[in-house]
Amino acid sequence: MKGYPAIEDHGLIGDLQTAALVTCDGTIDWFCAPRFDSPSIFAGLLDKDKGGFFQIAPHDVRYVTKQLYLPGTPILITRFISADGVAEVVDFMPVTGERVTDSHRIVRMVTMVRGSMRFRVECRPRFDYARQSHGLERHRNGFLFRSPSATLTFNPIDLARQRWAQTADVRIEGGDLIVYGTLNEGDTGGVILETGSEEPRIIPPEEVQGMFEWTRDYWRRWVERSRYTGRWREMVERSAITLKLMTYAPTGAMIAAPTAALPELVGGTRNWDYRYTWVRDTSFSVHALLGLGFTEEVSRYMDWLDERIREAGDHQDPLKIMYRVDGSSDLHEEVLDHLEGYRGSQPVRIGNGAADQLQLDIHGEALYAMHLADEQGIRVSHQVWKSTVRLIDWLCHNWDQRDAGIWESRHHPRNYTFGRVMSWVALDRAIRLADRTGRPGDMSCWTEQRNQIYNQVMARGFHRERGSFVQAYDENVLDAALLYMPAVGFVTPTDPLWLSTLESIERDLVSDSLVHRYDPLHSPDGLPGHEGTFNMCTFWYVEALARSGRLDDARLTLEKMFTFSNHLGLYAEEIASTGEQIGNYPQAFSHLALINSALTLNNLLDAEADARLRR
């Protein structure tokens, strides 16, 4: 593996229990199994020399590559184009379903479209984040990589009547495998990697074709369930597929990103593990998924969230901010000192120490999701409502305290305005739910506390000299999270207090339509260095502009933001000042916010067009 590819030079494939990243030159440099949050098998993305990778690419020939998804699917096609010919590598993972399994397959089909090429297939796994050694066993029908904790079978595909296998040059280097083979026009070959198996085999052509067709049809049927027919359909559908790829099918939980330790500043220390389910992120996705018509996914997530609410409410504790996909909450953070990190970005962290932070806003996101789901007929049980009541009662007595905030500051706790706003949302939506469903709750207490929060935010969260709502009480730092205030109804989008806040954010946090989370010169998170603009905040800015009646500005900002996606329509967490994507990738926050901004803007543009017609 040569050097580090750009973060955006990757496509994502997955089977709804785990996922892999594939570079533009046919290298898998990130893959964890059997779950998203399991130890890595390939982690060249975090250490090009030690991390491990699996590459299929032309050998000793100059070529250019083009990459695309098969329309309506996450089946990835990498095209190698040279003077000698054109070849395609098709990568996908057959969907595993809702049953937990250790068996996961990466299918890599190679087809010679025109001409002839010699290929190099190089498989160098490094199990358990490159902390475990492994052996390589040669079997009659393939190869087996064996480590103390896991196995990986290398199963040849020979769709060209084993022509490639018969002419292949196989070399073993320690515990690694290198295969050279020549493909001529019309030939097809390839490999299926499978975890959790100890019996490699040659895969028959009809089985491979069946996997491909079943995977293609599964995803196209899923996409067809979307009811979105508006503008920007291609970007919206790709974002929906990406969110689905980051959903753990056995529980319905959605991870924040399938990667760990990708830096928010190359060479910096802001390198976190995002392979977990944040209550905040997934709750935000409910609005996006419902807007597209994916009620089944929302129902599965709400079942998962209901369990977390029951656990918290029954113990009269706040919600934790994040969990593993199975609902467990042990996310012990550790540093992998033996890995150099992406382009030297250390430390390389796995686990996430922020899991035990108090972040008051997540109760608002959870109740907002519950309220939206209830409006679509996805209702909670009696037992879950009892736990919800206990959780809201806890919030009534605990909302007025310092916390770590939405950006998970590892510095001192503060009185975050956004946390107060979302606590107001939690109480407000609980009141609405109780009123709509006739279920019991301490309405007088909830109403009193909701009103107290509102009055406090208006009195202390608005900085008169700056003319803006600010990040925390008694400070003058701006915060792009407050762009979400009109969306949840805390302020109307035409309120003078809000319009002056929007102007302040535009003046100090917006750079050529891209939005910083907070003032980059006054970082409040206690960490050194700076970061790029935050994609979710840019999409929130689009929504805020649209709701404030600035539809042309909103549309231009959204169209500009589309130019920062990669060649496949994927987004990381942030955009660097160079225009590169940085942070964990792809990022659920970015894609769900894209969908929500597109839905909001499309509806408002349609309403404006209808109004013109009526005039």
Render pLDDT for 312-351 as a digit per residue (tens, 0 to 9).
Answer: 877 888 899 999 999 999 999 999 999 999 999 999 999 9
**108's tokens:** 């890599």
Q: What angle do CA 81, 83, 87 make, to 5 degrees?
A: 35
Distance CA 131, CA 52 (A): 11
Indicate if the alpha-carbon torsion angle 493, 495, 499, 504 is positive or negative: negative
Residue 430 has pLDDT above 70, yes or no: yes
In this structure, the answer to whether residues 53 and 172 fall within a common structural domain is yes
What size, in residues, is the chain?
615
169-227, pLDDT tens digit by residue?
899 998 999 999 899 999 888 999 999 999 999 888 889 999 999 999 999 999 999 99
Residue 600 maps to a domain: yes
The 3-state secondary structure of 312-366, one letter per residue? HHHCCCCCCCEECCCCCCCCCCEECCCCCCHHHCCCCEECCHHHHCCCCHHHHHH
Q: What pLDDT is recorded for position 159?
A: 58
Q: How many domains does the chain have?
A: 3
- Asked whether the beta carbons of 482 and 473 are under 8 A apart, the reply is no
Which residues have C-beta within 8 Å of that of residue 71, sequence separation ≥ 6?
Answer: none
Give the burial string for 80-93 (b: 16+ CB within 10 Å, else e). Answer: bbeebbbbbbbbbb
Range of the domain at 608: 464-615
In this structure, the answer to whether residues 482 and 416 fall within a common structural domain is no
DSSP 495-528: -HHHHHHHHHHHHHHEETTEE-SB-TTS--SS-S
Residue 95 maps to a domain: yes
Q: What angle do CA 279, 502, 489 make, to 5 degrees?
A: 50
Indicate if the alpha-carbon torsion angle 65, 345, 403, 574 is positive or negative: negative
- Helix, strand, coil shares of the chain as percentages rounded to 5? 35, 25, 40
Q: What amino acid occupies position 149?
A: S
In this structure, the answer to whether residues 407 and 484 fall within a common structural domain is no
The residue-averaged pLDDT of 27-39 equals 98
Distance CA 346, CA 125 (A): 22
Residue 256 maps to a domain: no
pTM: predicted TM-score of the whole model, two decimal places: 0.96
In this structure, the answer to whether residues 455 and 479 fall within a common structural domain is no
Single out the residue in 445, 461, 477 at which a domain terminates: 461
**17's tokens:** 């229990």
121-130, pLDDT tens digit by residue?
999 999 999 9
Quote the percentage of the chain above a pLDDT of 90. Answer: 87
Single out the residue in 461, 488, 521 at which a domain terminates: 461
In this structure, the answer to whether residues 54 and 132 fall within a common structural domain is yes
- Asked whether the beta carbons of 421 and 365 are under 8 A apart, the reply is no
- Asked whether the beta carbons of 95 and 16 are under 8 A apart, the reply is yes
483: domain CATH number is: 1.50.10.10
The residue-averaged pLDDT of 388-414 equals 92
Residue 333 maps to a domain: no
Residue 227 maps to a domain: no
Distance CA 368, CA 566 (A): 31
Distance CA 79, CA 219 (A): 22
In this structure, the answer to whether residues 468 and 457 fall within a common structural domain is no
148: domain CATH number is: 2.70.98.10
Single out the residue in 426, 445, 461 at which a domain terminates: 461
Q: Is the peptide bond before 204 cis (omega within 30 degrees of 0)?
A: no
Distance CA 15, CA 420 (A): 38
Residue 363 maps to a domain: yes
Q: What pLDDT is recorded for position 613?
A: 87
Q: Which helix (H) or strand (E) holds 28?
A: strand 27-32
The residue-averaged pLDDT of 256-270 equals 95
Closest CA to 544 of 553, 535, 534: 553
Largest CA distance in the chain: 79
In this structure, the answer to whether residues 522 and 457 fall within a common structural domain is no
- Asked whether the beta carbons of 312 and 318 are under 8 A apart, the reply is yes
In this structure, the answer to whether residues 505 and 556 fall within a common structural domain is yes
In this structure, the answer to whether residues 603 and 488 fall within a common structural domain is yes
Distance CA 68, CA 585 (A): 17
Q: What pLDDT is recorded for position 55?
A: 98
Judged by DSSP in three states, 127 sits in: helix
Span of 52-66, 97-111, 270-284, 507-521 with lowest mean pLDDT: 507-521
Residue 345 maps to a domain: no
Which residues have C-beta within 8 Å of that of residue 47, sequence separation ≥ 6?
Answer: 130, 338, 339, 340, 341, 348
- Asked whether the beta carbons of 180 and 169 are under 8 A apart, the reply is yes
Distance CA 565, CA 431 (A): 40
The residue-averaged pLDDT of 387-412 equals 92
Residue 161 has pLDDT above 50, yes or no: no
Q: What pLDDT is recorded for position 519?
A: 80
Which residues have C-beta within 8 Å of that of residue 607, sequence separation ≥ 6?
Answer: none
Residue 169 maps to a domain: yes
Q: Is the peptide bond before 34 cis (omega within 30 degrees of 0)?
A: yes
In this structure, the answer to whether residues 420 and 508 fall within a common structural domain is no
The residue-averaged pLDDT of 401-430 equals 94
Judged by DSSP in three states, 20 sits in: strand
Residue 162 has pLDDT above 90, yes or no: no
Residue 240 has pLDDT above 70, yes or no: yes
**262's tokens:** 């990708």
Question: For residues 321, 327, 329 and 335, what is the CA-based torsion angle, rounded to 10 degrees?
Answer: -90
Give residue for tokens 């935050």. Answer: 534
**15's tokens:** 């089977």
Q: Which helix (H) or strand (E) holds 206?
A: helix 205-224
DSSP 51-62: S-EEEEEESSS-
Query: Which value, in Å, is the radius of gyration of the alpha carbons in the chain?
Result: 25
In this structure, the answer to whether residues 28 and 158 fall within a common structural domain is yes
Q: By CB neighbour count within 10 A (0-12 exposed, 13-18 middle, 19+ buried), where does 467 fall?
A: middle
| Cross-strand bridge partners of residue 68 | 77
Distance CA 109, CA 434 (A): 54
In this structure, the answer to whether residues 312 and 398 fall within a common structural domain is yes
Closest CA to 486 of 471, 463, 474, 469: 469
How many DSSP H helices and E strands does the chain contain?
14, 28
Q: By CB neighbour count within 10 A (0-12 exposed, 13-18 middle, 19+ buried), where does 462 fall?
A: middle
Q: What pLDDT is recorded for position 158?
A: 73
Closest CA to 106 of 11, 18, 199, 200: 18
Q: What pLDDT is recorded for position 204?
A: 85
462-506, pLDDT tens digit by residue?
999 999 999 999 999 999 999 999 999 999 999 999 999 999 999
Give residue for tokens 């206990």. Answer: 390
